[in-house]
Structure 1
Amino acid sequence: MERLLQSVKIAINEKVYVKDPESSDLGKRIIEKSILMIDEMGFEAFTFKKLGHEIGSNESSIYRYFENKHKLLVYLTSWYWGWVEYQLVFSTNSISDVDEKLKRAIEIISKPVEEDSHFLHINEVVLKRIVVNESSKSFLTKEVDIENKDGYFVIYKRMVTRLSEMINAVNPDYLYPTSLASTILEGVQHQNFLKDHFHSLTDCVANEDPGQFFVDLAFKTLKSH
């Protein structure tokens, strides 16, 4: 897996950006600093003008990569899910037992994130916080249907499909594999948000990922049908 990840490039829909930020040092600095700034100040307060000041470049140079900050957020969340997808595929590909495969997949999705040395310009730990706190803003918009049709969320949807197929393998008679898959994927982020901000609304205490809860939920649901 280590050797394979050295040559991995997370493929993001070309419609999300004007110029691929991975194609230049400036583009990588835009990604690197935008992650840190959005995490620090929040998406609402973040602007390209502030980002330009931080990276020592004109605001106009950022627009040569992204049309607006909404598309930058779509890029960042898509990159995160693409990165998780690679880990999920490599970690479960050799597992033949369907129960163990689903359990491992849920653990991959929900486990605490560590920085990945293969992508030096991206702090995955900070990026996960952005996904937990800000990712819903990438699709809770009036343009969501158009952007969905244009493939903006294809990586996230592919993750749901992968998980749904694993659920179906555990119990082919279960009627709602896609609903359960999307509930797990979105629920992991929501539980992480709750344990960080609304402690009384979750049993997933601080310093504990919600993976065990969703493993318990998935298998009790699937084995009861």
Structure 2
Amino acid sequence: MEQLLQSVKIGINEKIYVKDPQSSDLGKRIIEESILMINTMGFESFTFKKLGLKIGSNESSIYRYFENKHKLLLYLTSWYWGWLEYQLVFSTNSMADPIEKLKKAIEIVTKPTEEDSAFSHINEVLLNKIIINEYSKSYLTKEVDTENKEGYFVIYKRLVNRLSAMIKFVDTKYGYPSSLASTVLEGSLHQHFLKDHFTSLTDCRENGDPTEYFTQLVFNSLNTEPNG
């Protein structure tokens, strides 16, 4: 899978950026350093001025790639969901058993992230931490409906739809496949957040990671009998 991913480019909605950061060394440095800085200081404290000082470039050069830091966050979150989608597709594509395929998919989208050497300028482990802590800030805005119509969240929605389709394949009569799929994705972020910050509010630390919890949650909701 690693060799396959080395030839893959994560496609991001062109409306999110002014210039594709993957197209130049400076653009890749902007992505690389912004991940490090947002992880360290948080999205609220992060600014393009601070980023410019860090990479030794004018603040104006960053604006040639992104209109504002909100668009940069949308780019980072879209890239993460696209990367996770590739992990899911390549890991489950050859699996014939729908139950085992769904279990593997749940594992992929809920397990702790490991760094992927196929993308040297992106630290996926730190990006995952940003997703856990900051993702909701990309859509809890007044502009969310407009941005949704512009396709800014299409990769995330596509990932939910892939998981929803797997759920429906296991239990065709289950009435809430999309609700369950989005609950797994959003809930996994929340459980990882609780493990890091509010440990008394989650059982995942003592009784296994979120993967075990969401696997139980999904399959306790479904009828897996052949004639179900």
1:95 corresponds to? 95
1:207/1:151 CA distance change after superposition, 3 Å: farther
Unaligned 5+ runs, structure 1: none
Q: Does 1:140 align with 2:104?
A: no
Q: How does 1:45-194 map to 2 (within 5 A)?
A: 45-194=45-194
Partner Cα separation in structure 1 for residue 41 and residue 51 of structure 2:
12
1:221 corresponds to? 221
Partner Cα separation in structure 1 for residue 59 and residue 211 of structure 2:
41
Partner Cα separation in structure 2 for residue 37 and residue 177 of structure 1:
37
Q: How does 1:205-216 map to 2 (within 5 A)?
A: 205=205, 209-216=209-216
Partner Cα separation in structure 2 for residue 204 and residue 17 of structure 1:
37
Report how far residue 223 of structure 1 moved. Answer: 2.3
1:207/1:43 CA distance change after superposition, 3 Å: farther
Larger deviation, residues 201-210 vs 56-65: 201-210
1:33 corresponds to? 33
Report how far residue 207 of structure 1 moved. Answer: 11
Structure 1 counterpart of 2:82, which letter? Answer: G
Count of residue pairs brought into register by the alignment: 225
In the TM superposition, structure 1's runs of 4+ consecutive aligned residues that sit over 2 Å from their partners are 206-209
Structure 1 counterpart of 2:140, which letter? Answer: L
TM-score, scaled to structure 1: 0.98
1:207/1:33 CA distance change after superposition, 3 Å: farther
Q: Contact 1:195/1:206 (CA < 8 Å) preserved in 2? A: no
TM-score, scaled to structure 2: 0.96
Name the Cα RMSD after superposition: 1.3
Unaligned 5+ runs, structure 2: none
Partner Cα separation in structure 1 for residue 184 and residue 44 of structure 2:
27
Partner Cα separation in structure 2 for residue 208 and residue 51 of structure 1:
38
Partner Cα separation in structure 1 for residue 2 and residue 51 of structure 2:
33
Q: Contact 1:196/1:206 (CA < 8 Å) preserved in 2? A: no
Structure 2 counterpart of 1:101, which letter? Answer: K
Identical counterparts, % of pairs? 73
Alpha-carbon displacement from aligned partner over 1:64-92 (angstroms, at most 9, x marks no partner): 00000000000001100100100100000
Structure 2 counterpart of 1:170, which letter? Answer: V
Alpha-carbon displacement from aligned partner over 1:94-138 (angstroms, at most 9, x marks no partner): 111111010000000111111111111000000000000001000
Partner Cα separation in structure 1 for residue 60 and residue 209 of structure 2:
40
